[in-house]
Every structure is written in structure tokens, then in C-alpha cells.
Amino acid sequence: AVDIVDGDRCGRFTSTLLRGVTVGPGAGWMAARLRAAGMRPISNVVDVSNYVMLEMNQPNHAYDLDLLGPEPSFRIRVASAGETITTLDEVERALDPQDLLICDGDDRPIGIAGVMGAENSGINDRTTDVVLEIAWFEPIGIGRSAARLGLRTDASARNERGVDPYSIDTAIARFVELLGETCPELHLAGSTVDATASSLPSPRRTTDVRIAQVNRILGTQLAADDLPGLLDPIGYVVSGDGDVRTVELPSWRSDSVEEIDVVEEVARRYGYDRIGRLVPRPDEHGRLSPMQQRRRALRDVLAGLGISEAMPNPFLAPDTLERAGLDPAAVRIVNPLVAEESVLRTSLRPGLLGAIAYNESHRSTGVSLFEIGHVYPPADAELPDEYEALCVVLAGREAPTAMVVWQQLARSMGFGAGLDQTRVPPGLHPTRSASLVAGRDVAGAVGEVAPSVLRAFDVSERVAVVELNLSVFLARTAKVVQWQPTSRFPSSDLDLAFALGDDVPAERLERAIRDGAGALLVDLQLFDVYRGEQLGDRRRGLAYRLRLQAPDRNLTDADIAAIRTAVEARASKTGATLR
């Protein structure tokens, strides 16, 4: 009996009992062919099993009837948490609830479906009765199990690509025919038990093929009546009249599912050498997309600031995110090349901090690096929330330098975002960092790396940092820079020092200064930050230099005094007082 418990993973399962088996050496001609195919002859039963798999692309497995319990039967189910199995290669393997198992009547695992059988049910010298299993398993599940277990076999390689569920009967007959050469008394005991489930692919799959589409893609001048002669000999049955024909897809070609797959077969049968080598002429010449152009411009701006581009490994060690002060939740790689590269990065910062640490260990301090790359924060969906990011790290620099870099990027690229000091990203200095907010969404950060993170990476210098979500910034159309005439009249500098509360971002004060100074302000620079007892608790001093210039006249003392008064009035609304 066969009980398919998880029918979404197994569409068909057959069991055939063969009696009168005598285990011994296989046929000489078969052993020679197996060696030529790179397989080692073992015994007549195993050799026939491997030969049928190679000849008919139909993986199969032979079980010893006496090892299947007093009431032999099969149950096909997924593994339970913590369940283990010892496979034919004598390795005990821990199973996952996503692994599909073949079990006997006592629900004891006797094989990993589509991958490898268990040691406790294999063929031995005393075997006289064999149960032949040939089945169709859902390909993706087999591929995932083989990858997770690190157990890629000839059977799993075929099952994960998809085998023909409707050639099983022919494969059974071929197995019996070949085994009969070395087992004269071999005979079938009853009929084959054949169980199916809802996941079994339909025996008849069709797709419509337009001859106009075939000619458009291949550049040929075929007629619809040419299709049967090209496709029927390889199992693609063409029917219908007119320019649109119905093509029945063969069951052994699971990779053919739609019209373009049939077009590929037409090209192969017609002959690539007859199609020609002319490349279709495009309607327009190739060019960079607007986002690609802005990305190149961004690289030029960063290089112009004296910052070198770095390309760290996108794979991290499991503890690196936590050392960087970030959420350790991440997408983990099932089969990493090394354990130190088993996690997809959720931020560019850890890799660049590692580069700074490496440079410092080689007595190269004060390096400035940037990286543009993709990050992969985990999500509730099957795929992570991947996006493109920019990270700039400046060793030996402090938060004001990071602000200068951000302002240069904003001015050069037309980026726009506000500072929010109430939302400090993890891993950054709690009082010297801020989030960059575009609308209501956090689109970046600016500030310094937290001292605890620097210690974790063995970095002794302060590190200023700028992080941007480029999927947000580059997708926006930058404002066109307006040309401004150059004034022929001299400029005047006005230095103003303000006392401002720690809870008020300096950006708000700068905005107030610009509003107060109006059109006569051509440049604004913060040149000093001061803290002292005379300013009071939780207040700091900010000194700005305003460069003023009129396009049509020399500025008078009255003009500058009026600007000073207007700036002071606007600044007072932020809680700032003129020192």
C-alpha cells in the first residue's frame, strides 16, 4: 500500500514487487557503459537501477522487502522537527520540516525522497525480494533539500530539474527487462501499486504559437505549415489551421511551458546556421538611464571630495551586524563557502568599518571611503527588502565633517532631506548623529559611529559617516540649477554667534538665518561650536559667517545692520539668542 500524506510534494508514487532476485555481479556490457558514464558498478540490482536512471532520465530506488517490516507499505510525508536519518553513505543527517521522506508502514524513514535512500533498507547479498520505487516529486522541494543537506546526487540533480511522470511505466518495464538478464527466475508478484495526488502535472499541456511571432523573433520567413515538420519529430504535436497553431508539449519536457519555449525549439530544429547573423536595428541608440547618469555623477562628486571608492564583500560573518550595533536579524545563506560569509549585509557600514580597521592595522590612518551597493534587510515576504545604498566613512573626522559632505551632496545632486535628531539610527553616536528624513520616511543618516562600535572593530579614530538610500534619492528628478549672474560689487562678511538649546537641530537655525538674510546671502558657513558654563546647561554656541553681496550696488552699513536685525528676529523663533 502507498499513502501519500503530503500530496503537494509528491504527485505520483509507484511500488513494484519483484521476486526471484539473485544479487550478484552485473552484466559485463552494462558495467562497461556505467564506467564510461562515470559510475562505479556495484551489483546487478544497483547497476540496473543506475542504468535505467541514465538511459531514461528516471531516478528510481530498489528496497529489500525483508527490511520494510512485517507489513510492507510506504508513507510519503515531510520530516518532523528534530528527526534524523542515516543515508546510504553512512552519514546521519538532521532533517528539516521542509524535507520530504519515504517511510515504511511503521512510519520509519527509509529514504529522503528524490535524493538518497536510507542505510536500513538497502540491497544486500541476501536480498531475494525487491520493491522498486519510481515516483514524481515536486522539483523545487527536492532542490532545496539537496542544497540544505549538502547532498547533491545523480537522482536529486534530475528530480530538481523535473522528470517525466508519465514514463514511469516504461521505466518499470525496462528495469524488469534488464534485471532479468542476471536473474533468470525473476518475476512480478502482483501488479504495480500506483498512487497519485493533486500535484501531478496534467498529461496534456498546450500553448498557442503564432507564426508571425516565430518569424519576428528568429528573423525567418517560415509558414505555419512548416511547423509540424519541425516539431512533430521531437514530440511537440502541432494541430490546427491558420497562422496560429496549437502545440501539445511533451510530458518529458517540463522546461517547455509557453510560446517562446516552442520558438526556441523551432530555431534549434530549423538550424541556427540558416537563421543568419543579422542583428535587428534598434529604433534608438543605447544610452544610460537617468538613474545611471545620476549614479555616475554621484561617484564623480564623491571622488572630487577626495573620497576613495571601496568594494567590501557583501557577505558577513553572523556576529558582524551585532558588532556594528545593528539588528542581527538578516538573510542567512544555506550553503556558504565559509562560515564567516554566511549572512547577507543589511547595511554597507560594517564592511567599510572593517576596511578602516584593516587600514589602521597597517598604519594607514585618516582614510576616507565610500561604497555604492545593494543591501538586503529581511522582510516578511519570501524575498528581502533589497535597495541600493550609499555609505561614506571618514576616519579621523567628526560629525561636522559628515554634515559638510552631506551638504555638498545635497547641493551638487539636488538631494533634499531634513534632519531628525530624535531618531538616531542604531550603531551611531546618540548625541552626534541624526536621521535624514524625506517626507515621513527615513532615507539616510549623518553623524558619527558610536564609540562602542569602534571598539568592537578595533578602530581608535573617530569615524564620521553619511548613509543614503539611493533607491529613494536617485529616483527623484533633480531640480534644474538656475544660472545666477556674477556680481561685480564686493561682498561683505558678517559673523554672528548664537546660543542654542541642544534639543534644537542646527539645521533649523541655519534655515532661519537664510530666511532672515534673504537674497543678499550668497554663502553661509558654521565656523565654530562652543560649549561652556556661561551658556547654561544643555546649550551650545554656534558661530556662523554670512557672506553678503548685492548684484547691483555696494552694501552699506545700514543694509548689513538691517540684515543683522532680521536674522536675529528669525533666529529667536528657534529659541536661539545672539551672544
Please give the single-letter amino acid code of residue 514: R
Residue 49: which H helix or E strand, with range?
Answer: helix 44-56
The residues, ordered by sequence, that sit 6+ positions from 373 with a Cβ below 8 Å of its Cβ are 311, 314, 348, 388, 389
Q: How high is the pLDDT of residue 485?
A: 83
Q: What is the pLDDT of residue 280?
A: 66
Q: Cα separations (Å) of 315 from 146, 351, 524?
A: 22, 9, 42
370: which residues sit within 8 A by CB, 6+ positions away? 302, 307, 308, 309, 310, 352, 390, 391, 392, 393
| Rounded-to-integer distance, Cα 457 and Cα 393, Å | 14
Distances 100 to 97, 115, 116 between C-alpha atoms, Å: 8, 9, 11
pLDDT at 356: 96
Contacts of 336 (CB under 8 A, 6+ apart): 315, 342
Dihedral sign from CA coordinates of 94, 98, 100, 104 = positive
Tens digit of each residue's pLDDT, the chain (579 residues): 899 999 999 999 999 999 999 999 999 999 999 999 999 999 999 999 999 999 999 999 999 998 887 888 999 999 998 899 999 888 999 999 999 999 998 889 999 999 999 888 888 889 999 999 999 999 999 999 999 999 999 999 999 999 999 999 999 999 999 999 999 999 999 889 999 999 999 989 999 999 999 999 998 899 999 999 999 999 999 999 999 999 999 999 989 999 999 999 999 999 988 887 776 677 777 788 888 999 999 999 999 999 999 999 999 998 999 999 999 999 988 888 887 889 999 999 999 999 999 999 999 999 999 999 999 999 888 889 999 999 999 999 999 899 999 989 998 888 888 888 888 899 999 988 999 988 888 899 999 999 999 999 999 999 999 999 999 888 887 776 777 788 899 999 999 999 988 888 888 888 899 999 999 999 988 888 888 888 888 888 999 999 999 999 999 999 999 999 999 999 999 889 988
Spatial distance between the Cα atoms of 387 and 469, rounded to a whole number of angstroms:
7
Query: What is the distance between the alpha carbons of residues 209 and 242, in angstroms, rounded to a whole number?
Result: 11
Distance spanning both ends of the chain, measured CA to CA: 93
Amino acid at 516: G
Domain ranges of the chain: 2-196, 205-275, 290-473, 492-578
Q: Judge whether 231 and 247 are in contact, CB under 8 Å.
A: yes
Q: What is the pLDDT of residue 421?
A: 81
Judged by phi (left if over 0) then psi (alpha if -120 to 50, else beta), residue 140 lies in alpha
The radius of gyration of the chain's CA atoms, rounded to the nearest angstrom, is 36
CATH 3.40.640.10: does it fit domain 492-578?
Answer: no
How far is residue 463's CA from residue 453's CA, in Å, rounded to a whole number?
A: 10
Q: Is 28 exposed, middle or buried (0-12, 13-18, 19+ CB in 10 A)?
A: exposed
Backbone angles phi, psi at 372, to 5 degrees: -115, 120
DSSP label at residue 118: B
302 half-sphere exposure, CB direction, 13 A CA radius: 24
CA 41 – CA 53 distance, rounded (Å): 14
CATH of domain 290-473: 3.30.930.10
What CATH number belongs to 205-275? 3.30.56.10
Q: Look at the block and give the residue holding cell 517490516.
A: 69
**Residue whose entry in the numeric block shows the C-alpha cell 551672544:** 579
| Cβ atoms 68, 121 nearer than 8 A | yes
**Spatial CB neighbours of 362, under 8 Å, sequence gap ≥ 6:** none
Q: State how far the Cα of 424 lies from the Cα of 428, in Å rounded to an integer.
A: 7
The pLDDT, as a whole number, for residue 482 is 76
| 3-class SS letters over 14-38 | EEEEEECCCCCCCCHHHHHHHHHCC
Q: Which value, to the nearest 10 degrees, does the dihedral of the CA atoms of residues 17, 105, 77, 42 take?
A: -40
> Which of 57, 204, 235, 44 lies closest to 134 in space, CA to CA?
57
Spatial distance between the Cα atoms of 127 and 509, rounded to a whole number of angstroms? 89
pTM, entire model: 0.55
Tell me, which fold does domain 2-196 have in CATH? Phenylalanyl-tRNA Synthetase; Chain B, domain 3 (3.50.40)
- The answer to whether 526 and 511 are in contact (CB under 8 A) is no
35 in Cβ contact with 18 (< 8 Å): no
- 245: phi then psi, degrees, rounded to nearest 5: -115, 150
Q: Is 161 helix (H, G, I), strand (E, B) or coil?
A: coil
